[in-house]
């Protein structure tokens, strides 16, 4: 496949991921387990011989979920439950949730009652992260419990070798995505931000082997073209802050109004691919160390990291000219962090803008106007 | 801890006294009275206070003195009250002959220490049993069903507290489960316990009135 076909494959998959996976399962034969992220390690599910599928809701408006959940819950969780209530997930063999925030907790308490699956688990990770023995011991205890439950369901042991093999596969995927991101950052006209983020988003839902293969083909074509096209002089470099960027159309708008994304700290973005899980030693310990070493996520308290300084560093390293906060309505962790982060940016005279969306936001004109004004302000137009 | 246990026992008996018909207390009394068992549990002052309250309630039960004269309807109300509209809300319900009696918030932070011989162990056990940490929507619905039966309730109102997603996110699911199990319709309304910017008196009073009409019939 050439690059446009590969990008089209990712985009088409994301238009109706659950339908495509359902059809795929008929011939594929493997069990599929939906899981929330961040926090639930997909490597363990994969090593148990199943397909881990991140639960990222859908861009369709909701209707059924209103009978169960408050509208003060974020659209990501409401949409996840809506997808389940609509019957779009009935092919899933298992579901793994977590309590990464109050919205996720609220959803996980209802989920099993409205959508029972053969396997159901809630992975409870410590909210306070540091490298203390207590935190590591608790993480090991919880991941081991989850590992055992999954083994019982899968009817097979997860050996250290198979887990390491999976970790290697996932590391390869992360490496490919980092390379893709770097190509975009240094050659913004070579590939659109939307295509890059579609590749990242689809990586947590598609079969990893297949996704890696597509990424490998995409990279080899792009790498041969690197440097052939000049960087646009007046494109404004921006950094994105938040959990997810939804809908992805916002990325198109950023580029249409003259900006381009050079960095981010999104959970379905750079945070996902920031580093690899080491392959030496105990693989579960390696997953825990990776979890503890991942960039700050607003749902956790991490006394080791000053998220304001991390953001300033991210801006400086990428020579970004502005920061766009992309926050889901009712996403408390990011709403709580926003004032501190904004103050830090303002004090450093870094232009910044906050936009709030729902997964199903379709009226993007007001967002376009604000993004255009933001980019023009930076350009000094 | 022993003092705390005695205090908790009195508090529990005070809450249970609302099962009497007519009830000698209302939820509004309990909201006010809960502050000591939440914040001063284990002190002699708190114990003395609940002994006095309990004695007064026992007397009211004996003499069948209702807190709402002509009590006609008995309700469960979930989550925190509208603190900024507290007295007005009490008077509103009373004016319709409605007594609001039960609420899981009153149980949320208080437990009996089962074994005080090892205080740290007892604290850990209480933390594990604390309703706030273990209750989910399904469990809350089950308890509300039990309260409806034990306290002879006619309806339930669930307050979607906009700034407390932890207690409010799944209220619609709770309402659905309780109605399915008891046949009693419930009401969920939007407001906030502490931020009146989320409160619209006309809207809240309007749907309360409509709801009372529904269950009265």
Q: pLDDT per residue over B185-214, tens digit each?
A: 999 999 999 999 999 999 999 999 999 999
Residue ranges of A 278-337 with Cβ closer than 8 A to chain B: 330, 332
Predicted pLDDT of residue B68: 94
CATH number of the domain to which B185 belongs: 3.40.50.11900
Domain that holds residue B45: 2-216
* pLDDT tens per residue across span B36-77: 988 998 999 999 999 999 999 999 999 999 999 999 999 999
Q: Smallest Cβ distance to A72: which of B138, B162, B177?
A: B162
Say if A73 is an interface residue toward chain B (CB within 8 Å).
yes
Q: Which residue of A has its CA nearest to B139?
A: A109
Task: Judge: A114–B173 Cβ closer than 8 Å, yes or no.
Answer: yes
Predicted pLDDT of residue B108: 79
Predicted pLDDT of residue A115: 93
Q: Which residue of B has its CA nearest to A106?
A: B169
Prior bond to A354 cis, omega within 30?
Answer: no
CA A43 to chain B, closest CA, distance in angstroms equals 29
ipTM of the complex, rounded to two decimals: 0.86
Predicted pLDDT of residue A368: 96
Task: Judge: B165–A67 Cβ closer than 8 Å, yes or no.
Answer: no
Contacts of A231 (CB under 8 A, 6+ apart): A186, A187, A188, A189
* Residue in A62, A100, A103, A109 to test binding to B, most B beta-carbons within 10 Å: A109
Say if A116 is an interface residue toward chain B (CB within 8 Å).
no
More confident residue, A219 or A226: A219
Residues of chain B positioned with their CB less than 8 A from the CB of A69? 169-170, 172-173
CA angle A222, A226, A231 (to 5 degrees): 120
**CA A186 – CA A195 distance, rounded (Å):** 15
Across the range B3-18, mean pLDDT stands at 93
In chain A, alpha helices (H): 3-15, 17-28, 42-47, 75-85, 102-114, 133-154, 160-186, 193-203, 208-225, 249-256, 270-273, 283-293, 307-317, 332-347, 365-379
* pLDDT tens per residue across span A165-216: 999 999 999 999 999 999 998 888 889 999 999 999 999 999 999 999 999 9
Total domains present in chain B: 1
């Amino acid at each position: 496949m050439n690059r446009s076909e590969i990008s089209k494959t990712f985009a088409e998959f994301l238009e109706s991921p659950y339908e495509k996976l359902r059809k795929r399962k008929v011939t594929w034969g493997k069990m599929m387990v939906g899981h929330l992220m961040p926090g639930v390690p997909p490597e363990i599910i994969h090593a148990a011989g199943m397909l881990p599928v991140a639960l990222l809701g859908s861009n369709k408006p909701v209707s059924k979920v209103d009978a169960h959940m408050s509208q003060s819950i974020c659209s990501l969780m409401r949409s996840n439950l809506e997808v389940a209530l609509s019957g779009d997930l009935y092919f899933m063999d298992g579901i793994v949730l977590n309590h990464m925030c109050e919205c996720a907790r609220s959803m996980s308490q209802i989920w099993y009652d409205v959508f029972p699956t053969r396997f159901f688990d809630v992975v409870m990770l410590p909210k306070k992260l540091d490298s203390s023995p207590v935190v590591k011991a608790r993480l090991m205890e919880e991941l081991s419990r989850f590992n055992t439950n999954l083994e019982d369901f899968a009817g097979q042991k997860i050996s250290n070798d198979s887990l390491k093999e999976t970790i290697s596969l996932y590391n390869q995927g992360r490496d490919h995505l980092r390379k893709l991101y770097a190509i975009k950052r240094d050659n913004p006209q070579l590939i659109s931000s939307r295509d890059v983020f579609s590749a990242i988003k689809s990586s947590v839902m598609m079969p990893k082997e297949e996704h890696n293969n597509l990424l490998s083909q995409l990279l080899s074509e792009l790498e041969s073209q690197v440097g052939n096209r000049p960087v646009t002089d007046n494109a404004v470099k921006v950094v994105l802050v938040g959990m997810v960027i939804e809908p992805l159309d916002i990325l198109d708008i950023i580029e249409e109004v003259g900006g381009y994304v050079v960095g981010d700290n999104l959970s379905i973005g750079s945070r996902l691919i920031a580093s690899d899980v080491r392959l030496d030693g105990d693989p579960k310990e390696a997953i825990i160390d990776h979890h503890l070493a991942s960039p700050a996520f607003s749902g956790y308290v991490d006394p080791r990291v000053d998220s304001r300084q991390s953001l300033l560093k991210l801006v400086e390293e990428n020579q970004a000219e502005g920061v766009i906060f992309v926050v889901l309505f009712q996403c408390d962790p990011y709403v709580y962090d926003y004032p501190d982060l904004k103050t830090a940016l303002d004090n450093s005279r870094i232009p910044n803008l906050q936009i709030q969306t729902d997964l199903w936001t379709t009226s993007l004109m007001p967002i376009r106007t604000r993004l255009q004004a933001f980019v023009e302000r930076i350009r000094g137009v | 801890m022993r003092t705390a246990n005695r205090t908790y026992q009195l508090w529990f008996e005070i809450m249970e006294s609302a099962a009497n018909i007519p009830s000698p207390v209302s939820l509004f009394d309990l909201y006010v009275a809960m502050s000591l068992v939440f914040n001063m549990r284990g002190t002699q002052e708190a114990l003395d206070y609940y002994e006095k309250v309990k004695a007064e309630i026992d007397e009211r039960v004996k003499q069948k003195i209702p807190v709402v004269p002509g009590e006609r309807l008995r309700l469960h109300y979930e989550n925190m009250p509208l603190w900024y509209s507290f007295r007005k809300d009490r008077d509103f319900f009373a004016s319709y002959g409605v007594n609001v009696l039960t609420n899981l918030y009153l149980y949320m932070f208080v437990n009996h220490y089962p074994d005080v011989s090892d205080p740290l162990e007892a604290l850990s056990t209480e933390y594990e049993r604390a309703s706030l940490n273990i209750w989910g929507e399904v469990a809350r619905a089950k308890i509300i069903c039990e309260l409806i039966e034990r306290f002879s309730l006619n309806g339930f109102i669930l307050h979607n507290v906009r700034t407390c997603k932890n207690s409010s996110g799944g209220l619609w699911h709770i309402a659905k489960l309780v109605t399915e199990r008891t046949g009693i319709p419930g009401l969920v309304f939007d407001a906030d316990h502490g931020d009146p910017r989320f409160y619209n008196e006309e809207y809240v009073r309007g749907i309360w009135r409509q709801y009372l009409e529904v269950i009265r019939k």
